[in-house]
Chain A
Amino acid sequence: MGWISPRALTRMGMLNMNRRNVDYISRYNERSSYPLVDNKLKTKLVVAEYGVKTPKLLQVVRQQHEIPHFREMAEDLNGFAIKPAKGSGGKGITVITGRDEDEFIKASGVRVPAAYLERHLSNILAGLYSLAGTPDVAIVENLVQSVPELAKYSFQGVPDIRIIIFQGYPVMAMLRLATKASDGKANLHQGAVGVGLDIGTGQSLNSVQFNRPITLHPDTGLALENINIADWEEMLIMASRCYEATGLGYMGVDLVVDVNEGPLLLELNARPGLAIQMANGRGLLPRLKAIEKLKRHHFTPETRARYAMEIFAARS
């Protein structure tokens, strides 16, 4: 692995960390809107008003003394996910896919006792995973059953689709597939595979794992070239709606496709990562600048999504 010259990066319009923070996040994201996205519970409630669906909320654990109720509630559940409301980067999310008598089966296949989950809840409440270490609440959600067309690519875990929304316009997207290395999580820095998606069609472009280009999924061995996301336009519109809901000018929208419910919003991110550029093999800056140059913005999510599909299409 060598070095790349800053000039080459500028030529490709690669957005970097400092510029993202100074020129985009701090300029377009109102500080007051952060709690909306940093708290998954608030996100759920606010996007619901704009017709964006999220996984069904089963329980909210707010206090230490509510933890015993969790066991009662979990009695008749098979699959669910425990998340810290203020967690970031997928930290503290525990996914339970099934039961084996008294024990719960994690997404990785490990069996854990109920006490393990209770301790996990207690950690969440104490703020172990929250952004600033502040006390947190734990939310228990229905387990998402990914559509088999996408699920087959992923090693365990639910594949999700990250779309960068800039001033309401979808500018870049990728599909994130969990791997053995990422422990069933869809986080790129933990080793998940990122597959760039063409904004115009929802077709896959390039794929990367650990920042290196790949063509096959390392665990499932499936070719990543011809993935096609169904209902692409609908997903883009859904992602665009989150702009109206939160008012954040620059954010990452994470969607999943559920077998029963269709596309669901998993979470919003006010500081989306930069790896999406590697998965797409192109920089974000030209697209962001194109949106910044627009004299008149489109008013509805539908028109914005359509406009983005037109100008950001990879192959025309």
Chain B
Amino acid sequence: MTTRSRIPFFAAIVLLIVAGISIATWRHVELGIPWLTGEQQPVWMVEARIDFEANGEPVLASMNIPEQSPGFRILSEQAASPGYGFSVIEKNGSRRAEWSKRDVVGEQTLYFKTQFIPDPSANRDRPRRAPRPIAVFWEEPQATAVREILQQAEERSSTPESMTRELIRLMQPGDDNTQNTTLLVAGTNYLDLVVRMLNHAGIPARTADGLKLEDARRRQALNPYLQIFNGEEWLTFDPRTAEQGLPEDVLLWRQGAESLLDVVGGDGSTVSFSMLRQTIPALQLAAMQSEENGLGFLSLYQLPIEEQSMFRMLLLLPLGALMVAFMRIVIGIRTSGTFMPVLIAVAFVQTTLVPGLIAFTSVVAIGLLMRGYLSSLNLLLVSRISALIILVIFITAGLSIAGYHMGFSTGMTVTFFPMVIIAWTIERMSILWEEEGAHEVFVQGAGSLFVAVCAFLVMDAPLSRHLTFNFPELHFVVLGLILLMGQYTGYKLSELRRFTPMKAYD
């Protein structure tokens, strides 16, 4: 090995770490997986309530429901209407919820609930095929009025957007061409009129209904909006103020579809909306969405629950290994068996810390006593370890039964400790005791427990559980750090103490 070969090595480490962090960041941005555990995301719960009076005939109620509202994504949909058959039907590019029932009399109420997530980048309405303006036929004297107004608007504008703005301004009462406007507006729906005029001018236009989202409002009605197609996408205008664009807190419930609500077999139907601002954990949100958008292929959430919990544990192990590497290489703590502390820490995760510590030390202490007897039996190593394993099982069984009878259900958790590892620990400790004395046993035992507790604290932190499971790619970073530590040639912390007498020779 020469010094030259270190450059690719460090490059690879940098690559690993950068790759890990950037994949995690990408998934955070794309899938919305939160960095922290407790992160909450606002969600709007909108409930549409349909009331009508049934007149004894079969009822078919059909309501337009949103499919792609600009600035919002649909999280869930749910209909509540006892006794009604319900289905969601797609027709002519719009979605409708349909309720049906054969014999209905009296007042009826139907509910439809939808959860929306605000997302400014969602669903900009770009139809695949450009819509065409609808041919409109005007009768005199409206035809002349329309022609005049459109001519004026056209003179003052250059694009479909500015044309729309000018037209809306011209249509407001109090302007100089009041005569024309009054003639047109009289006896007809103002918004429909504007839509027809725009279509007549060769600009595809339609109406839309929007809902202003305010927390805990009930019985809200939809507000009408004007939409025009500028050749690329549908743009929304306020039909009164000519303001372009949709306010952030407005949800478009109906776009493009003909009608909001049709009820067959009922009279006096009304739709009203109530809404509530909820927060749900961002993680849950990400998990719900990853199933839909196909980006979830990297996610462990798609595994069966049983495998998931196994992976949760497995993915924590690298953190323990990192901890052991750090403690041994940089701090210089002596442990008995290199990775014994990690396995003990894994057991602690299952038993929780204090009962785990008590159980572990008592099993090892009792085991050491029994090992003293075993050593006088003059056995071969393999059978001695085997006997020790069986003894350790007896000890753990005894401890858990005794604990259970004394009312500590935590006594049962002893069984989480890896028996073979404990048996080897006892064997090593016992030999260490004979060869180097109790002091060394104490140093190494305490060192192992200390590292195990540190590893446990790292592995048990909610944040590390969250990060390791939701961002498995962060393990590249852990791997990079471990490799990097493998090249650490500096002094260990313990050596600064060990070499202290060298002060005399400095």
* Residues of A near any B CB (own CB < 8 A): 1-6, 8-9, 11-12, 14, 16-19, 22-23, 26-27, 64, 91, 115, 119, 122-123, 126-128, 190, 206, 208, 211-213, 277-278, 281-283
Contacts and interface: CB of A to CB of B under 8 A. Distances in A.
B491 interface: yes
A120 to B, nearest CB: 10
A8 B378 contact: no
Given A12-B505, A206-B505, 8 more contacts: A16-B492, A18-B488, A119-B378, A122-B380, A126-B382, A212-B501, A282-B505, A283-B502
B272 interface: no
5 contacts: A1-B497, A14-B491, A126-B381, A277-B502, A281-B502
A4 B505 CA distance: 12
Interface in B461-506: 486-492, 495-506
B492 A8 contact: no
A191 to B, nearest CB: 10
B306 interface: no
A74 to B, nearest CB: 18
A306 to B, nearest CB: 27
Given A91-B435, A126-B381, A128-B381, A17 B492 contact: yes
Contacts of B406: none
Contact of A9 (B381, B435, B489, B496): B496
Contacts of B50: none
Contact of B500 (A1, A18, A128, A190): A1
Interface of B: 1, 329, 332, 378, 380-382, 431, 435-436, 486-492, 495-506
Given A22-B489, A128-B431, A208 B380 contact: no
A9 B492 contact: no
B496 A4 contact: yes
B381 A16 contact: no
B501 A211 contact: yes
A281 B505 contact: yes
Nearest to A23: B489
Contacts of A9: 491, 495-496, 499, 502
Contact of B489 (A5, A18, A126): A18
Contacts of A277: 499, 502
A126 B329 CA distance: 31
Contacts of B492: 16-18
B330 to A, nearest CB: 9
Contact of A278 (B1, B436, B502): B502
A130 B459 CA distance: 34
A2 B382 contact: no
Given A16-B491, A18-B488, A190 B496 contact: no
B505 A6 contact: no
A193 to B, nearest CB: 14
A273 B500 CA distance: 17
A282 to B, nearest CB: 6
Nearest to B500: A4
A23 to B, nearest CB: 6
Contacts of A16: 489-492, 495
